[in-house]
A and B are shown apart, each in its own frame.
Chain A
């Protein structure tokens, strides 16, 4: 065998070896998928149109937008009172309430009330738990 199988690895560039190898394998597999599923891929536009039409747009995009807002606001709000975790607490309560209401089908008081309680008690409890007994940072 000898020389054919010998390899020398330069440590300075060794971070590229495995990613290159994996990228090649991934490329080959991707190509195989492309060839095999070409008809499906060609039909991508109508497929996605179907997905969009079939989905509950309000709930899906509503959940996404609420989550985006939730994540974006947590840190700026938290920075008003640094290292207290209040950013998490003050953003979680409306987020829980809003997503809960969004996911509900009918919204009679009898069902909203438990949600309201959970939306307030849940984050407060978690915030207390993490701030005092567990002593972990929250945004």
Chain B
């Protein structure tokens, strides 16, 4: 057991986590990309050491995304999208440091809770996860979508924007590898050459949140001063761990939701934080504060997306099936070494299994320590003059868009298209947050909806499939009713 813990093993985890945080913190670079570029290294490192590096990258990459999400309003990775909703408003109020601390602590707790779940219950949970057929998966996605209504300042426009996001996400082929028939649809004549595979998520995301924000700044002449209020680290921090006392339930629930979404193959990594956020808002006593700088929103989002890390390893290690796009790459690390992953993996490879658990644990601790003490350096980002910061962000967005699919120029154009769209949207009242959520969830919603009907041939199946389906309906209705009530309350207050 202890022989795994070599200095090399430890330094690979810590180094991996650090590189992961940097990848996550740069808009456009993702955890998936960090793992992808380092995957070939694992061949010469050997399995345990290779996994140590990759798991460090994974944990770091998912966590690093919160930094630009909070300080710049640009999600560093798709899974930190919901962190921007409350983190950036807090930074604009001058509470950036507090938001960062909340995010980092939540990430850590989410990572540790999911690790415990992974360690203790992996095989059992995998058996539970296979009870989720197309029907239940559709309902989960549908539940995540209900947050569109809740997130918008104007409900009608918000829902319209969300449905528009779904619509745009369907452009291109009905993807065969997700179970579609490979036929094109919704493509304007003459654009088949470019739009065959539709728009990719990452360029759309950084276009809407990165480029659009810079265009808005350009429109008002790039006023001098900093992009968020100065973070006077340590001076006026109102952060205290007491905030978690009132949010304990939220923290644990969001971590478990993230973990569980990770366990379900095919629901997707970005959905984890969205669902955790939806839940937090549905059960909150002050849902109207969400989206305006509510710490509970950051807690839900960050513990949710770090909860994903342990969860996504469950199906990988107990079914041989990855839980998200990053763990899909880990399969490569195993097969390169001639190790099978499947239901017998844990029993057959106890040493590797222990090494993975330890690596995840150390990675989470390393992530926490490094990020918590690096806050003062993160805060420096805000002090960079805008005329230097913005061009550099633009360049990083271009690199992210170009490299996300290993060199497709259309992804860079997508960035520009959605940058301009994001700017226009803010002018005509289309809301970006529900739009991007619709865009993220649209493709899975389609596949699971159509496949449910294709397989079971009856509309009632959505209600009668299982007790899980019924439970999900309760959550969906709860979320919708909650949003409607909240919207009424606000209208009354405005009058």
B217 to chain A, nearest CB (A): 8
- For this complex, 13 residue pairs linking A to B, each with C-beta atoms less than 8 Å apart, are A14-B174, A29-B160, A36-B156, A48-B427, A56-B220, A56-B221, A62-B218, A71-B413, A88-B402, A122-B392, A135-B37, A136-B407, A137-B406
The residues in A between 98 and 134 inclusive whose CB is less than 8 angstroms from any CB of B are: 99-101, 103-105, 111, 114-115, 118-119, 122-123, 126, 130, 134
The answer to whether B392 touches A7, judged by C-beta atoms less than 8 angstroms apart, is no
Please measure, in the bound complex, the distance between the C-alpha atom of A22 and the C-alpha atom of B163, giving whole angstroms: 7
B404 to chain A, nearest CB (A): 10
The answer to whether B185 touches A15, judged by C-beta atoms less than 8 angstroms apart, is yes
The answer to whether B181 touches A25, judged by C-beta atoms less than 8 angstroms apart, is no
A39 interfacial contact with B, CB 8 Å: no
B388 interfacial contact with A, CB 8 Å: yes
Residues in A neighbouring B173, C-beta threshold 8 A: 15
Q: Map CB proximity to B onto A51-66 as digits: 1 under 8 Å, 0 otherwise.
A: 1000110011011100
The answer to whether A18 touches B449, judged by C-beta atoms less than 8 angstroms apart, is yes
B403 interfacial contact with A, CB 8 Å: yes
The residues in A between 22 and 81 inclusive whose CB is less than 8 angstroms from any CB of B are: 22-23, 25-26, 29-30, 32-33, 36-37, 48, 51, 55-56, 59-60, 62-64, 67-68, 70-71, 74-75
B380 interfacial contact with A, CB 8 Å: no
Please measure, in the bound complex, the distance between the C-alpha atom of A22 and the C-alpha atom of B446, giving whole angstroms: 10
A12 to chain B, nearest CB (A): 6
The answer to whether B450 touches A136, judged by C-beta atoms less than 8 angstroms apart, is no
B468 interfacial contact with A, CB 8 Å: no
The 5 closest A-B pairs by CB, nearest first: A56-B221, A15-B174, A137-B407, A103-B387, A5-B459
The answer to whether B454 touches A5, judged by C-beta atoms less than 8 angstroms apart, is no
Tell which of B163, B219, B386, B391 has the most Cβ of chain A within 10 Å.
Answer: B391
Residues in A neighbouring B450, C-beta threshold 8 A: 9, 14, 17-18
Residues in A neighbouring B427, C-beta threshold 8 A: 48, 51
Please measure, in the bound complex, the distance between the C-alpha atom of A100 and the C-alpha atom of B214, giving whole angstroms: 12
B118 interfacial contact with A, CB 8 Å: no
Interface-lining segment among B4-12, B164-172, B371-379, B484-492: B164-172
The answer to whether B395 touches A59, judged by C-beta atoms less than 8 angstroms apart, is no
Interface size band for A = 35 or more
Contact of A71 among B186, B215, B385, B416 (CB under 8 A): B416
Please measure, in the bound complex, the distance between the C-alpha atom of A122 and the C-alpha atom of B389, giving whole angstroms: 11
Please measure, in the bound complex, the distance between the C-alpha atom of A75 and the C-alpha atom of B407, giving whole angstroms: 11
The answer to whether B458 touches A6, judged by C-beta atoms less than 8 angstroms apart, is yes
The residues in B between 316 and 355 inclusive whose CB is less than 8 angstroms from any CB of A are: none
Contact of A33 among B160, B170, B413 (CB under 8 A): B160
Please measure, in the bound complex, the distance between the C-alpha atom of A116 and the C-alpha atom of B211, giving whole angstroms: 22
Please measure, in the bound complex, the distance between the C-alpha atom of A25 and the C-alpha atom of B224, giving whole angstroms: 44
The answer to whether A63 touches B214, judged by C-beta atoms less than 8 angstroms apart, is yes
| Residues A64 and B392 in contact in the complex (CB < 8 Å), given A1-B460, A22-B170, A59-B222 | no
| Residues A63 and B218 in contact in the complex (CB < 8 Å), given A14-B181, A22-B167, A123-B395 | yes
Contact of B403 among A8, A95, A130 (CB under 8 A): A130
B125 interfacial contact with A, CB 8 Å: no
The answer to whether A136 touches B167, judged by C-beta atoms less than 8 angstroms apart, is no
Q: Hey, which bits of chain B sit against chain A, CB under 8 A?
A: 37, 156-157, 159-160, 163-164, 166-167, 170, 173-174, 180-186, 211, 214-215, 218-222, 224, 385-388, 390-392, 394-396, 398-399, 402-403, 406-407, 409, 412-413, 416, 419-420, 427, 429, 442, 445-446, 449-450, 453-454, 457-460
A138 interfacial contact with B, CB 8 Å: yes
Residue of B nearest to A25 (CB): B163
B440 to chain A, nearest CB (A): 15
Tell which of B395, B402, B406 has the most Cβ of chain A within 10 Å.
Answer: B395
The answer to whether A15 touches B181, judged by C-beta atoms less than 8 angstroms apart, is yes
Residues in B neighbouring A100, C-beta threshold 8 A: 387-388, 390-391
Residues in A neighbouring B224, C-beta threshold 8 A: 105
Residue of A nearest to B170 (CB): A19
Please measure, in the bound complex, the distance between the C-alpha atom of A103 and the C-alpha atom of B390, giving whole angstroms: 9
B484 to chain A, nearest CB (A): 15
A18 to chain B, nearest CB (A): 4
The answer to whether B163 touches A19, judged by C-beta atoms less than 8 angstroms apart, is no
The answer to whether B164 touches A26, judged by C-beta atoms less than 8 angstroms apart, is yes
A105 to chain B, nearest CB (A): 6
| Residues A5 and B183 in contact in the complex (CB < 8 Å), given A95-B395, A139-B402 | no
A13 to chain B, nearest CB (A): 8
Please measure, in the bound complex, the distance between the C-alpha atom of A116 and the C-alpha atom of B221, giving whole angstroms: 21
A86 interfacial contact with B, CB 8 Å: no
Tell which of B160, B398, B406 has the most Cβ of chain A within 10 Å.
Answer: B398
Residue of B nearest to A71 (CB): B412
Residues in B neighbouring A74, C-beta threshold 8 A: 409, 412
Residues in B neighbouring A22, C-beta threshold 8 A: 163, 166-167, 170, 442
